[in-house]
Amino acid sequence: MSERQVHTESPGDFFALLVKSGYRWQGRLDGASSIDKSGLIRGTTVFAFHFKDGVIVAGDRRATAGNSIMYDRCDKVVPIDDYSLMAIAGVPATAFEMARILSHNFEYYRRSQLQPLSAEGKIRALSTLLKENMGMALQGVGAVSPIFATYDAKLRKPFIYFYDLLGAQFQILTHTATGSGSPAIRGILEHENLWGVRPLAEREAKDAAILAIRLLQTAAQFDSATGHARPEEKIYPIIARIAEKGYAFFSDEEMAELYAVSMKRAEHV
């Protein structure tokens, strides 16, 4: 069959063209149904929002496999460089490898070019990794839905980006969340931003962290894959902030204090 005939018989049919060119892409997708995905470990729930001095990035600590709780101390907010964090929902094995690649590439660029990679370059680098992971994502065994937050030292401005499974990037001006517990969190964040005591972008770091703890506790009430904080075991959410001086995680001691405050019923004037 000539090349002209191939294109004539299946105009615009990308998968058919792959098959006729010798690739067995569809077979790989069909084979995914035979994979037992119940044993895959997945991480949920993460979110980010702008506060007065920068960005808050937070996540619960639970990792699940089907209906089983596999781990309750999973760090879902991962440093990439001094000014960048990635929050992960999805398969941790894939997400952590992406984080390692990004961290290595950013540092290599800084040392070889004697200057840090631009914020735009960092944002596009994660998009490229997600596109390269498309095959695993389509099979359902390597899907990652990340949030990337960074501070641009030149513009003196923080940025939040949300990505879909295929690498499309979306700049977030207020707040975003992903993972199984995200629907409740997105709704509360929108309410707080519009009708709370003050908009999210006007809140101090302490108030923003307390809100983050309450958000995750609320999500855990409705989503079994989102883990509660357990102060008796010193298990708290992981919360970090990015500002002009870079990223910083709230310590266990700070989290214990903030958790105690967050559990008190808010006083309404």
Is 44 among the catalytic positions? yes
Residue with tokens 């499974």, as numbered in its chain: 165
Q: Is the dihedral of CA 173, 179, 183, 187 positive or negative?
A: negative
Q: Which of 8, 44, 128, 178 is catalytic?
A: 44
CB-based contact 175:50 (threshold 8 Å):
yes
Using the CB atoms, write b or e for 101-112: b if 16+ within 10 Å.
bbbebbeebeee
> How many Å apart are CA 204 and CA 60, to the nearest integer?
21
Catalytic residues: 44
